[in-house]
Chain A
Amino acid sequence: MRVPLGRIAHTRSGDKGDTANIGVIALKEWHYPTLAREVTAERVKAFFGPLVKGEVERFELPNLGALNFLLHGALGGGGTLSLRVDAQGKTLGAALLRMEIELDEYEFGL
């Protein structure tokens, strides 16, 4: 079945210059393999479309059941240059909760 990422994960996002970071954390530890399979750098890049000018990098933290994404060129120049209301990418983590992922009922823990 297809569910929004927010059903199995929570997120927090922030900035480093013109790069936004999004931490994606499994709500239950057994959801981590699903996260690692479904939430790839390519899909995150496609999800945000033209909002992300550069590449998306992904790092794995299996010890925390979490993934860390770096979205380069995602903040309109970043820091004080940015003209955006969300110049620090604080809300990008919440946006990602809408991304649809594929999982079976067993994985969902039903």
Chain B
Amino acid sequence: MIRIANGQGFWGDWLDAPVQLVEQGPIDYLILDYLAEVTMSILQKQKQQDPLLGYARDFPPLIHRIAKTLTERNIKVIANAGGVNPIGCAREVKRLAPELAVAVVLGDDILDRLNEFIENGHELRNMDTGEPVTAIRDRVLSANAYIGAFPLAKALATGADVVIAGRSTDTALAVAPMIHRFGWVRQDYNRLASATVAGHIVECGAQATGGNCQVDWQTLPDLANIGYPIVEAEPDGDFTVTKHHGTGGRIGVDVIKEQLLYELGDPKRYITPDCIADFTTIRLRDDGPARVRVCGVRGAPPTGTLKVSISYHYGWKATGTLVYTWPDAAKKARMADAIVRERLRRLDLQFEEIYTELLGADACHGPAAPPNADPPEVQLRIGVRARHKAAVERFTRELSPLVLSGPPGATGFGEGRPQVREVVAYWPALIPRREIVTRVEVVA
């Protein structure tokens, strides 16, 4: 049995979670998931400004902080912290923790190969719209193929203490140590599928241990010290989800079910580079306090393609807010919205969308929100999106004048003008598997 713990559900998750995992109980592998769909474009921009950057900058200081414990307890780390510069990330880790052996997995970054792919007839059509990538070629900021668990397992086989990948799938981080330690092969589809389910359960960190859980949420113990999830994996693929003794949160079948359903598509076809997992075959049972047993998972061979994540410049957006209070808070906010829209119309600016919502009324739930005839206060929130920055900049000047010139009682404008932000959009596509060649490098 090996213990695999996830200490980071996204870049920005609790900084102390990985430290808690390595210090408060036994684990063999610490995995850290840093990448969301648009993170790569942010990292690409950082690398353009400074060729030494382009990776998750929280990662090297974290390794520095826990290096001694990693060595003492023989814990290995696997992280997709490399972003668009895994080598740069690895060098910084080596600088801060020279005693650790570091390996990187390369080959996912295909930004420099896009033209070659297009010339060879790969259209990289958008999986949602069907458009070929040539439509946005001149605006592409990053392009990465999602790589699976086998290249990560190969990196572990070098004896590395720290394995750094770029755009690996989230679940691959958990699957790799099982492949490495149990000697699984590519045809072990049921085992790989079970490991993938384990990866899905832990990939969002504390969402598997009571975070964001609806059931009995008011009595969940000590969320301030919530335990992050640990998988006790076995060679046949079955596993137990648990957390360190003495930590907060709760693990039970209901909690694990919620996380299994999180961001799920067709449950019979959970597609990864390594297998297709069938979530309708999962069997769960409570196995003591803070322990859930998972078994029975069936899998099938993977597809012949890998998913590609491309990010590109789309345009600009801004959102601004004002607060209106009782009486007639919602009516005042709607009148203010109408004034802003009329002023923007007279300026003849081109917006792709102007979107208004009332926080405190129905912003999140829309028509499904419970009616509230006269709420004590609402926050008016207006968002605009345009291809050209100038239109969005002009919009940011239109809210604060309402404090003096609009309906009575506007407040909450203290933070100044809304910020104009670039919209970097996401372009999902597929590429034949044979086009993506990964390699492992040990970084000295």
Contacts and interface: CB of A to CB of B under 8 A. Distances in A.
A51 B366 contact: yes
Contact of B38 (A70, A79, A91): A79
Interface size class of A (residues with CB under 8 A): 35 or more
B368 A81 contact: no
A68 B282 contact: no
A64 B296 CA distance: 13
B355 A21 contact: no
A29 to B, nearest CB: 10
B353 A63 contact: no
Interface in A29-58: 47-51
B52 to A, nearest CB: 26
B215 A10 contact: yes
A85 B381 contact: yes
Nearest to B215: A10
Nearest to B207: A12
B426 A80 contact: yes
A91 B212 CA distance: 11
Interface string A61-97: 1111110101000001101110111100001111110
B261 A80 contact: no
Given A84-B363, A92-B365, A79 B282 contact: no
A27 B215 contact: yes
B279 interface: yes
B442 interface: no
Contacts of A62: 280
Contacts of A48: 366-368
Contact of A84 (B212, B280, B357): B357
Interface of A: 10-12, 14-18, 21, 23-25, 27, 47-51, 59-66, 68, 70, 76-77, 79-81, 83-86, 91-96, 98-99
The 9 closest A-B pairs by CB, nearest first: A23-B261, A83-B383, A51-B366, A83-B355, A49-B367, A95-B365, A14-B263, A95-B368, A12-B258
